[in-house]
């Protein structure tokens, strides 16, 4: 039986998109507290890996690009090489899919091969955790349940705080760029996501515009629209339909995820549709208010909900089972999120967290 002192090298397998990977940093931080002398490797997709290059609780990034992920022989070869180049004492497979299980299969000598309880993981994982059975706990708590088997050898030090980091130099450089683009830091600065990569997550355009107008009229806020790729045209349309209001900025662009961290670090507040940028805002300590669409459970995807991090969901006003019983379609369910209801939750946060400038 290994002891805590024997744990020298840990592998955390995450993959997926920004939101999932940001929340996974709480697990890495908990591992660092529990095994301060161990090295922690983090498996992640190329394209979002830059978020974690400066993270103090991640020692090495193992990056898979699209070609490696989508060509199975290439994927297997890389997994084989990873597992035979390093002797791991702990493997935590946060996804436990048929593909990710090859990490454990190629390292059966690793005493702690921990993952989710799935029918096909028996015999490959040494410890299987049913961490998604309880739908009443958030995703960070579900992730941290994967650490429970390690209590056999250590007193596990869990933290639910998920974090991202930006250097002071990067923050200062981005602030100077924002000033060049017309941002006046003597007034409140809010980053907003009126659009989203997945169209079904986007709140009604007219309601979003009305909420943005209330924010500008009541608090003289400068609103920076964040968007990516194909979202640009929609963001520009919102700006035009809001009369090209000088309070709205589409010319402050974060061209990389580290730039987005630097942008958030210079903002006073986040408001918009639920998604990766909201998770990043919370990880950067920026107060935020998010609009959750139907079928995206706020209780799962808003960890650490408190006066600083809040959101609104159709389920707040009608239980899901009642929506189902009434045979409401998706649009009808989303329409439960009205401007008045958003403003009722949003305005007290703006009053509390926007600086009195």
Q: Say if residue 8 is in the same domain as residue 147.
A: yes
Q: What are residue 116's DSSP bridge partners? A: 129
Please identify, among 98, 120, 152, the residue that sits at the C-terminal boundary of a domain.
152
Residue 157 lies in a domain: no
| Cβ(286)–Cβ(193) below 8 Å | no
Nearest to 301 by CA among 312, 264, 357, 2: 312
CATH code for the domain in which residue 228 is found: 3.40.50.2000
Domain count, the chain: 2
Render pLDDT for 282-298 as a digit per residue (tens, 0 to 9).
999 999 999 999 999 99
Q: Say if residue 16 is in the same domain as residue 119.
A: yes
- Over the chain, what is the mean pLDDT? 94
Domain, as residue range, for 80 = 4-152
Going from the C-alpha of 75 to that of each of 96, 103, 268, 293, the distances in angstroms are: 16, 11, 42, 35
Render pLDDT for 223-245 as a digit per residue (tens, 0 to 9).
999 988 778 888 899 999 999 99
Q: Say if residue 81 is in the same domain as residue 203.
A: no
Please identify, among 106, 122, 152, the residue that sits at the C-terminal boundary of a domain.
152
Q: Say if residue 214 is in the same domain as residue 148.
A: no
Residue 163 lies in a domain: no
Residue 160 lies in a domain: no
Q: Say if residue 134 is in the same domain as residue 206.
A: no
Q: Say if residue 175 is in the same domain as residue 147.
A: no
Mean pLDDT, rounded, for 246-270: 96
Nearest to 248 by CA among 220, 268, 276: 220
Dist. CA 291–CA 310, nearest whole Å: 9
Residue 229 lies in a domain: yes
Q: What percent of the chain has pLDDT over 90?
A: 89
Q: Say if residue 136 is in the same domain as residue 229.
A: no
Q: E strands, 46-176, where?
A: 60-64, 90-93, 112-116, 127-129
- Predicted confidence at residue 230, as pLDDT, reads 79
Please identify, among 122, 152, 182, the residue that sits at the C-terminal boundary of a domain.
152
pTM score, whole prediction: 0.92
Burial of 225: CB neighbours in 10 Å, binned 0-12, 13-18, 19+: buried
- Predicted confidence at residue 199, as pLDDT, reads 86
Render pLDDT for 98-156 as a digit per residue (tens, 0 to 9).
999 999 999 999 999 999 999 999 999 999 999 988 878 999 999 999 999 999 999 99
| Cβ(132)–Cβ(146) below 8 Å | no
Q: What are residue 39's DSSP bridge partners? A: 9
Residue 193 lies in a domain: yes
Q: Say if residue 202 is in the same domain as residue 348.
A: yes
Residue 308 lies in a domain: yes
- Predicted confidence at residue 357, as pLDDT, reads 56
Q: Say if residue 97 is in the same domain as residue 174.
A: no
Render pLDDT for 200-212 as a digit per residue (tens, 0 to 9).
899 999 999 999 9
Q: Say if residue 186 is in the same domain as residue 117.
A: no
Render pLDDT for 314-336 as a digit per residue (tens, 0 to 9).
999 999 999 999 999 999 999 99
Render pLDDT for 1-57 as a digit per residue (tens, 0 to 9).
568 888 999 999 998 889 899 999 999 999 999 999 999 999 999 999 999 998 999
Nearest to 263 by CA among 245, 284, 291: 284
Q: Say if residue 194 is in the same domain as residue 121.
A: no
Order of strands, edge to edge, in the sheet holding 248-249?
248-249, 222-225, 189-193, 269-273, 288-291, 309-312
Instruction: Specify the DSSP class assigned to residue 209.
Output: H
Q: What are residue 327's DSSP bridge partners? A: none
Q: Say if residue 330 is in the same domain as residue 214.
A: yes
Residue 290 lies in a domain: yes
């Amino acid at each position: 039986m290994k002891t805590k002192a024997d744990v020298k090298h840990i592998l955390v397998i995450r993959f997926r998109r920004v939101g999932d990977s940001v929340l996974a940093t709480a697990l890495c931080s908990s591992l660092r507290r529990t095994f301060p002398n161990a090295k922690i490797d983090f498996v992640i997709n190329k394209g979002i890996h830059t978020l974690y290059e400066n993270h103090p609780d991640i020692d090495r990034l193992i990056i898979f690009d699209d070609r490696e992920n989508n060509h199975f022989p290439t994927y297997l070869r890389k997994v084989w090489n990873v597992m035979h180049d390093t002797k791991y004492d702990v493997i935590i497979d946060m996804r436990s899919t048929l593909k990710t299980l090859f990490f454990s299969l190629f390292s059966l000598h690793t005493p702690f091969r921990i993952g989710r309880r799935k029918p096909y993981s028996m015999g490959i994982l040494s410890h299987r955790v049913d961490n998604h059975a309880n739908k009443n706990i958030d995703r960070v708590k579900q992730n941290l349940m994967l650490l429970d088997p390690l209590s056999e050898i250590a007193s596990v030090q869990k933290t639910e705080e998920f974090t991202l980091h930006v250097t002071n130099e990067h923050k200062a450089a981005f602030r100077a760029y924002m000033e060049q683009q017309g941002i006046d830091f003597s007034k409140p600065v809010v980053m907003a996501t009126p659009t989203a990569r997945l169209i079904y997550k986007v709140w009604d355009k007219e309601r979003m515009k009305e909420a943005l107008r209330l924010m500008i009229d009541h608090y003289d806020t400068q609103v920076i629209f964040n968007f990516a790729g194909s979202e640009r045209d929609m963001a520009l349309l919102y700006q035009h339909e809001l009369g090209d209001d000088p309070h709205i900025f589409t010319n402050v662009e974060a061209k990389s995820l580290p730039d987005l961290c630097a942008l958030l670090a210079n903002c006073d507040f986040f408001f918009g549709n639920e998604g990766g940028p909201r998770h990043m805002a919370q990880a950067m300590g920026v107060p935020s208010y998010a609009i959750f669409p139907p079928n995206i459970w706020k209780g799962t995807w808003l960890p650490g909900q408190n006066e600083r991090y809040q959101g609104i969901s159709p389920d707040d006003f009608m239980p899901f089972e009642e929506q189902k019983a009434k045979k409401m379609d998706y649009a009808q369910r989303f329409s439960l999120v009205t401007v008045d209801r958003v403003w009722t939750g949003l305005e007290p946060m703006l009053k509390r967290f926007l600086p009195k400038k």
